């Protein structure tokens, strides 16, 4: 990203700090917060002899964080690395890793290290990669689990906004956990009356922490076009489901 300029605005101090972090990684320097309170944040170079600095303040009129005075010139190139780096921080890894590669249980810390090196030319430790992987999988698992709790509301909304929609939601009576859902909108059921007497059903695995199967039922209309008739999310591709 280009250097931050005077007058540049951000929605919050956090957004500004994230921008400084991205800038420092791209330009290979280390910046530290020199002053910080509810009204301002001042960054300076980690090398004390360097004149680099950037000041921001909260603009009450615009209700945003605005860059004030800046001195983007570094006089410390060649002074050597410092012990602290933005790329070693977990919050940076948690922010960039989901858009860098798909992380699942099979992703190794070495793969994460190589992906970060290839994308950002930054070397991180395998320990940092392992910690980021655990946190990302944990957050992903909780987020995906919360989505299942919204299925009853989703089914009701489908019927409410599309009268005639057929929805069957099955919950395991013993564990009270989601088992499967079947959906057929009215446009699909009406279209089938004009299709050939043929239905193709196939499934594919979902790419989530909860391994399930997405089933699709497809028909063929008079113009030999495929028509999606119904779909379902099930526990596995069995005769019952």
Per-residue pLDDT tens for 94-117? 888 888 888 887 889 999 999 988
- Tell me if 240 is assigned to some domain: no
Q: CA-to-CA distance for 111 and 129, rounded, in angstroms?
A: 9
Q: CA-to-CA distance for 68 and 38, rounded, in angstroms?
A: 15
Nearest to 117 by CA among 140, 149, 137, 93: 93
Query: Where among 122, 147, 172 does a domain terminate?
Result: 147
3-state secondary structure at position 27:
helix
How much is the pLDDT for 125? 86
Residue 126 phi, psi (nearest 5): -65, -30
- Tell me if 68 is assigned to some domain: yes
Q: CA-to-CA distance for 130 and 180, rounded, in angstroms?
A: 33
Q: Alpha helix (H) ranges present in 9-122?
A: 13-27, 90-100, 109-120
Are residues 180 and 139 part of one domain?
A: no
Nearest to 217 by CA among 205, 196, 232: 232
Are residues 46 and 16 part of one domain?
A: yes
- Tell me if 171 is assigned to some domain: yes
Task: CATH number of the domain at 21, please.
Answer: 3.30.310
Instruction: Return the DSSP state at 163.
Output: T
Are residues 10 and 79 part of one domain?
A: yes
Is the full-model pTM beyond 0.85?
no
What H or E segment, with its residue span, contains residue 39?
none
- Listed as ranges, residues in the chain with pLDDT below 70 are 1-2, 76-88, 140
Q: Report the number of distinct structural domains present in the chain.
A: 3
Are residues 143 and 212 part of one domain?
A: no
* Length reported for the chain: 241
How much is the pLDDT for 91? 78
Are residues 202 and 192 part of one domain?
A: yes
Query: Where among 103, 124, 147 does a domain terminate?
Result: 147
Are residues 60 and 116 part of one domain?
A: no
How much is the pLDDT for 236? 86
HSE of 95, CA atoms in CB hemisphere, 13 A: 14
How much is the pLDDT for 11? 92
Are residues 156 and 224 part of one domain?
A: yes
Q: CA-to-CA distance for 218 and 147, rounded, in angstroms?
A: 26
Nearest to 67 by CA among 117, 3, 128: 3
- Tell me if 166 is assigned to some domain: yes
- Tell me if 168 is assigned to some domain: yes
How much is the pLDDT for 79? 52
Token code pair at residue 9? 């605005």
What H or E segment, with its residue span, contains residue 6?
none
Q: State in Å, rounded, how far the first CA of the chain is from the last one.
A: 50
- Tell me if 241 is assigned to some domain: no
Q: Tell me the residue range of the domain where 187 lies.
A: 151-234
Q: CA-to-CA distance for 237 and 80, rounded, in angstroms?
A: 58
Are residues 139 and 77 part of one domain?
A: no
- Tell me if 239 is assigned to some domain: no
Contact 67, 54 (CB under 8 A): yes
Are residues 54 and 32 part of one domain?
A: yes
Contact 238, 232 (CB under 8 A): no
Are residues 166 and 106 part of one domain?
A: no
Are residues 98 and 158 part of one domain?
A: no
Taking the CA atoms of 95, 130, 103 and 85 in sequence, report the sign of the dihedral they define: positive
Nearest to 118 by CA among 137, 101, 143, 141: 101
How much is the pLDDT for 225? 92
Contact 39, 29 (CB under 8 A): no
Are residues 213 and 167 part of one domain?
A: yes
Query: Where among 84, 106, 139 does a domain terminate?
Result: 84
């Amino acid at each position: 990203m280009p250097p931050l300029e005077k007058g540049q605005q951000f929605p919050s101090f956090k957004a500004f700090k994230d921008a400084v972090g991205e800038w420092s990684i791209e330009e290979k320097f280390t910046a530290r917060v020199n002053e910080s309170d509810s009204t301002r944040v001042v960054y300076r170079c980690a090398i004390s002899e360097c004149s680099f600095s950037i000041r921001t303040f909260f603009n009450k009129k615009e209700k945003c964080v605005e860059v004030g005075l800046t001195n983007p010139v570094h006089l410390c190139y060649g002074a050597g690395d410092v012990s602290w780096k933005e790329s070693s921080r977990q919050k940076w890894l948690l922010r960039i890793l989901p858009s860098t590669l798909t992380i699942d249980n099979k992703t190794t810390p070495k793969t994460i290290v190589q992906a970060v090196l290839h994308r950002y030319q930054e070397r991180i430790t395998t320990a940092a990669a392992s910690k980021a992987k655990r946190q990302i999988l944990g957050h992903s698992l909780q987020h995906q689990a919360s989505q299942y709790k919204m299925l009853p509301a989703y089914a009701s909304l489908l019927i409410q906004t599309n009268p005639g929609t057929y929805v069957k939601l099955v919950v395991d009576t013993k564990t009270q956990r989601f088992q499967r859902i079947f959906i057929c909108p009215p446009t699909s059921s009406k279209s089938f009356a004009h299709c050939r007497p043929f239905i193709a059903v196939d499934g594919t695995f979902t790419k989530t922490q909860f391994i399930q199967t997405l089933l699709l039922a497809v028909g063929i209309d008079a113009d030999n076009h495929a028509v999606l008739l119904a779909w379902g999310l099930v526990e596995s591709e069995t005769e019952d489901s």
